[in-house]
Amino acid sequence: MNQIASSQSPASRASFYRAFEDRYRGSREIIKDRLRAYARFTEPLLQLARPPAALDLGCGRGEWLELLGESGFDAAGVDLDEGMLAACRERGLAASHGDALAALRARPDASLALVSAFHLVEHLPFELVQELIAEALRVLQPGGLLIMETPNPENLTVGATSFYLDPSHLHPLPPGLLSFAAEHAGFARQRIVRLQEDPNLHTDSQVGLITVLAGVSPDYSVVAQKAADQPVLAPFDAAFGASMGITLGQLALRYEEQLARQHAEIHQILARIERHGARLTAENQEAHRQRDEMYRQLGELHQLIDDVRQHAGRQDERIAHVEAHAAEMSQRVVDLLSSTSWKITEPMRRVMALVYRLRRARAEGRLGSAAKSRVLRLVRRGGSAVLRRPGLKRAARAILRKVPALESRLYTLMLENSGATRLVLDEEPGELSPRAARIYRQLKQEQARMGNADSH
């Protein structure tokens, strides 16, 4: 709250800011819990004095005063808002009405261990902020602390919106500016403490855009320490060396790194998709090529089938022709076998077949005397059978006239061996060639001789 004197009526201010704090500041329990984060800085102050004195500028409802009293401080507060002061008095806290700078000016040098100003400096012109810092440095004892908490404009929703919910706010103070103001005033060291950010930000959780906009702590403070001997400052080293909170830059960088990883993953996925698509395209092209090859082979197969069918048709025609020819030949054979000439020449064919076999057997040395005699008997018997049949005899003559050597051989066989079958010759065979006539006369003579031999 603004702790500089104002023309606004105290009753009106008390009514408005009490209701405003209850709506937007939060409950006393929540505020006290947040303020415990400063214990790491304030606890070493208990070693400087017993009890150490503290002055809270703009003490409001008194949460910080109450927490300091519970911790062992001799704490007092000052505020211009009567409504806030009434809340402090209800709890028996040492809070008085007054201007913050006037209260500081009234304190002697090095009389306080702690000066605090929670959500005060944003209500003041910057020149008064600088004067407040200078007066705080004067009244603090060596090693004493100045704590200034204010809305954090690094939280973009705070800097752009919620800061201006309080019409008494003048302008946001960036952390770097307030820290430099303490340094420039002569404090030995200062620390920017960022509070109240989401605990998940300290894990590996994902950071969204809304986290970048509103995730940084809505409040921050500058904790500045007055110069002192090293033994006095040493207990505070751990607190001033600790990292507290996340800056907007860190959060934005984390978001960008996360986006970069996501983009890299997306590019990897797209690359895999592209490779997969290329592979699918190649496979599709190969499938089309195989399909075209299959169609080509099917076309060749159909053509081959047509050729086979045509060839089969030609073969069927040839087979039919061969079968017809075979049937014709078969019929001719049947006709031949059924003919008179075939029947007439059957004995001669047998004789000739036997003669050919005998020749082969004799040439191979397989012809024995017994077999020879038997064959000769068969030949003579066959010849006699032919001679006893006029029709066969005429047919045999006609054939033998064409083969004179065979004719002479057969007649010789017929005339050899007196035990041969008797020949029966025609009285007059008709007109014969000279040679046939000679053979005929020989046969007649042999027949007569054989007849005389039988009579004896």
At 366, is the pLDDT very low, low, confident or very high (cuts 50, 70, 90)?
low
Coil/strand/helix, residue 207: coil
pLDDT value of position 375: 64
User: Are β-strands 112-118 and 219-225 bridged in parallel, bridged antiparallel, or unpaired?
Assistant: unpaired
| C-alpha distances out from residue 281 to 55, 274, 293, Å | 78, 10, 18
State pLDDT tens for residues 181-232. 999 999 999 999 998 787 777 677 777 777 667 567 889 999 999 999 999 9
State pLDDT tens for residues 326-343. 788 778 767 776 777 767
At 418, is the pLDDT very low, low, confident or very high (cuts 50, 70, 90)?
very low
Q: Are 429 and 437 in contact (CB under 8 A)?
A: no
Q: Which residue in this structure is represented by tokens 């409001």? A: 60
Of the candidates 194, 34, 225, 188, the residue with the CA atom closest to the CA atom of residue 114: 225
Write out the H or E segment, with its range, that includes residue 70: helix 63-71
> Which whole number is the average pLDDT over 260-288?
87
State pLDDT tens for residues 231-245. 999 999 999 998 888
* Higher pLDDT among residues 78 and 405, named by residue: 78
Lowest mean pLDDT among 97-111, 118-132, 194-208: 194-208
At 402, is the pLDDT very low, low, confident or very high (cuts 50, 70, 90)?
confident
State pLDDT tens for residues 1-45. 444 445 455 555 545 655 665 665 667 888 898 999 999 999 999
State pLDDT tens for residues 160-169. 888 888 888 9
> Which whole number is the average pLDDT over 91-97?
94
Residue % of the chain over a pLDDT of 70: 82
State pLDDT tens for residues 65-75. 999 999 999 99
At 441, is the pLDDT very low, low, confident or very high (cuts 50, 70, 90)?
confident
Write out the H or E segment, with its range, that includes residue 296: helix 248-338
Lowest mean pLDDT among 248-252, 261-265, 430-434, 444-448: 430-434
* Higher pLDDT among residues 174 and 304, named by residue: 174
Q: Cβ–Cβ contacts within 10 Å for residue 333, how many?
A: 11
**pLDDT averaged over the chain?**
82
**Distance (Å, whole) CA 94 – CA 140:** 19
Of the candidates 147, 85, 66, 70, the residue with the CA atom closest to the CA atom of residue 113: 147
CATH number of 10-246: 3.40.50.150
Residue type, 73: F
> Which whole number is the average pLDDT over 75-80?
96
DSSP 428: -
pLDDT value of position 104: 96
> Which whole number is the average pLDDT over 119-136?
97
Distance spanning both ends of the chain, measured CA to CA: 187
**Distance (Å, whole) CA 282 – CA 91:** 82
Q: Are 240 and 191 in contact (CB under 8 A)?
A: yes
DSSP 25: I
pLDDT value of position 370: 53
Backbone angles phi, psi at 114, to 5 degrees: -145, 135
Q: Cβ–Cβ contacts within 10 Å for residue 254, how many?
A: 18
